[in-house]
Structure 1
Amino acid sequence: MRPIQLAGTQVFLLGLISIASTEALLLSGTAHAPVTDSELSAFMTSLWSADANKASSNEVQTNIQSHTDSNSTVDRSPQRLFTHVDESLFNRSTYAAFIKLLDNYNHELGHAEQSTPQEESEITHFLNEISQTEVMQKTVHFLREKGYIMSAWSELETLIRQIWFTFFARHAHSHIKDSSAFEHVFVGEYTQTIVEGFHNWIEFYLQEKAGNLNYLGYLSVHQPNIIGVHFTWQGRLKKFNAIIYGNSPEFDLAMYTVCFVLRHNRKCSFQLDGHPVSVHSFDLDRDGVKFIGTVYVDV
């Protein structure tokens, strides 16, 4: 075994890399340039500006209705959160590829996840589509400039596959590989009583439209397009959640990936379109291997 070092954290490679570990995938011996909050702000704002697939205010509209608190079980917002979404957005290549991934998972924790060849093909298609966007091209350039990858998209793709799409046991007492970072963050999971993860606006809209999700009210509102929400999904309660809406799938993936790589287990703070934003990410240790436990916009 050979150790890889990143930001004071050590992890071991076990033969061929097949684990969702950022440290294991960032090249050994590469000099990582420090990234200041101001540099991160400039990068994130450039991503926001470059997000050609971001929805306009006419394409996505919300009705936040009434304020609530995280312990309430009262529906204080009887209308849907999303009053209008122009679904022609979903014909755009990255949205269409993203949405195909959403039904590939068993939402209930404790049940082992399995990936079929078709589902693997859908992941590949999604990654191929986002690789062609300016958002991902800028992300490759930034991580290369700062010494986290050496060359091209293929390295970032490998990193994304490992830290987002590798299955692992969500809870430490279990050996059942019932979760992945992508499922937790972008799709959502639940136990018998509570919702875990679920930080994506597209999934929120689709589940609300299908009648599976009941928006109970808002907890906070921040710019740009960030809402702290309280809801039930499939009869389970999510006390507090934050979503940033209207942005493309590639933007979310780039923002969360960069924050996890640069600032995991601590606050990732930056300015986005002139507004302060914080992203929190945490890793999970499973038998000495670190996985993305979660990553989300803080409010």
Structure 2
Amino acid sequence: MWGRVLLTASLLVTLCQLSATKRVLAHNCVNRCSTIVDQRYNCQCNPRCHQYNNCCPDKVRLCGGGPSSQTRPGRPAPKATRAELTTLFTSLWNADVNRVQLNLNLQSQTSTKSNADTTSQSLFNTLSSRILSKPTYKTFMVLLNNYEHNVGRVEDRSQAEKNEENAFLNAITATPVMKKTRDFWKRKGLVGPSMTDFKNKLREMWFDTYSRSRGVKDSSGFEHVFVGEIKNGAVTGLHNWLQFYNEEKHNRLNYMGWIYKRKRGIIGLKFKWLNKIKSISTIQFGPSPELDIAILSTCFLINPANGNCQFNIDSDKFTVKVYKDTRSPSKIGSAFLQ
């Protein structure tokens, strides 16, 4: 009899262990990092779960991301008002002497749900060598081939690559856009008084590496936002028009159609990059590298509510979404126009 009792107890323990394991698997992000809501589970692993307060406990650790407002409870108020940002960014827009007026071949409209390629031609017709020879453009373009696109593989940030980063920072900080930006940061106490302080802050935000997967230093703010990455078989980031042009030119990116168009060159579009489709990416076409860096960096530093940096340029309304790397909150996880 005791043997039957022990066998029954052993079976009950095993069933409880299996049930517990099933519950654990049902409430974490293992193999579930995605851009969609999975209704089978009580917690989610998509980028917007922070907004709805239904993320799984390990979402940030396994999938990365997290709005800047999630970095700590009781966070202080944003360090600049919408009116202050509107004044600054309108001034920067007007000071952007390197901005380009582009003639894009938009062709057909598409949707996020369609995987059909509705275009027969490239988005870009051509780009003048005169534009690409400008110091901030030239030093920016050199950076684009410095990265391992697959998340989970360590970034080998060589001294030569660091020198290229420094050349880019030297070029942009000499522009009127970044001079105005530095003055604003100093007034707001966002950076130290010297030019070295300014460059170091930019370097830390954009180029210092951190981990998105497996604990290896496999990513940076610049790589994600401006270059793009492949994570779990999907395209993430890639919000820059120069990178779009560069990849299309080298036949690594296929433009599949536009989804929406807004003022000041903002386009939501679909494309296939490295044989992976991105259903939508918002890119502003035409601003100089220094203007992109200035606006995105400032939005990141002011710590906006819910990660939403809202401002106007003249009468046109904008929202930039900013994310911090949760383990290294001084580094940009992502930043892009919504």
Common topology (TM > 0.5): yes
Q: SS where residue 253 of structure 1 aligns?
A: helix
Residue 280 of structure 1 and its aligned partner are, at CA, apart by 0.5
The structure carrying a bigger helix percent of its residues is 2
The structure carrying a bigger strand percent of its residues is 1
User: Residues of 1 paired with 2:321 and 2:174: CA distance?
Assistant: 27
**Alignment match of 1:44 (pick from 73, 86, 89):** 89
Residue 268 of structure 1 and its aligned partner are, at CA, apart by 0.8
Partner of 1:3: none
Partner of 1:9: none
Partner of 1:281: 322
**Alignment match of 2:206 (pick from 139, 164, 180):** 164
**For the Cα contact (< 8 Å) 2:95–2:177, is it kept in 1?**
yes
CA 193–282 in structure 1, closer or farther in 2 if over 3 Å, else same: same
Which consecutive segments of 4 or more residues in structure 1 shift more than 4 A?
Answer: 31-34
- Aligned residue runs from structure 1 range 61-80, under 5 A: 61-80=103-122
The TM-score, its normalising length taken from structure 2, stands at 0.74
User: Residues of 2 paired with 1:150 and 1:109: CA distance?
Assistant: 33
CA 289–147 in structure 1, closer or farther in 2 if over 3 Å, else same: closer
User: Residues of 2 paired with 1:89 and 1:137: CA distance?
Assistant: 21
**For the Cα contact (< 8 Å) 1:32–1:148, is it kept in 2?**
no
- Counterpart AA for 1:177: K
Long gaps (5+) in structure 2: 1-67, 69-75
Partner of 2:275: 235
Residue 260 of structure 1 and its aligned partner are, at CA, apart by 0.4
Residue 188 of structure 1 and its aligned partner are, at CA, apart by 0.7
**For the Cα contact (< 8 Å) 1:33–1:146, is it kept in 2?**
no
Partner of 2:123: 81
User: Residues of 1 paired with 2:132 and 2:315: CA distance?
Assistant: 28
Q: Which stretch of the first structure deviates more once superposed, 70-79 or 264-273?
A: 264-273
- Counterpart AA for 2:135: S
Q: SS where residue 217 of structure 1 aligns?
A: strand
Q: SS where residue 163 of structure 2 aligns?
A: helix
Partner of 1:110: 152
Residue 284 of structure 1 and its aligned partner are, at CA, apart by 2.3
- Aligned residue runs from structure 1 range 1-299, under 5 A: 34-55=79-100, 57=101, 60-171=102-213, 174-191=214-231, 193-264=233-304, 265-286=306-327, 289=329, 291-298=331-338
User: Residues of 2 paired with 1:168 and 1:282: CA distance?
Assistant: 14
Q: Which stretch of the first structure deviates more once superposed, 84-93 or 219-228?
A: 84-93
Q: SS where residue 61 of structure 1 aligns?
A: coil
Question: For this pair of structures, how many residues does the alignment match?
Answer: 263
Residue 103 of structure 1 and its aligned partner are, at CA, apart by 0.6
Question: Identity rate of aligned residues, in percent?
Answer: 36
CA 226–73 in structure 1, closer or farther in 2 if over 3 Å, else same: same
Of structures 1 and 2, the larger Rg is shown by 2
Q: SS where residue 85 of structure 1 aligns?
A: coil
User: Residues of 2 paired with 1:246 and 1:178: CA distance?
Assistant: 29
**CA-to-aligned-CA distance 1:174-229 (integer Å, 9 cap, x gap):** 11111101000011111362111001100001111111111111111111100001
- Counterpart AA for 2:87: A
The TM-score, its normalising length taken from structure 1, stands at 0.83
User: Residues of 2 paired with 1:151 and 1:97: CA distance?
Assistant: 25
**For the Cα contact (< 8 Å) 1:170–1:178, is it kept in 2?**
yes
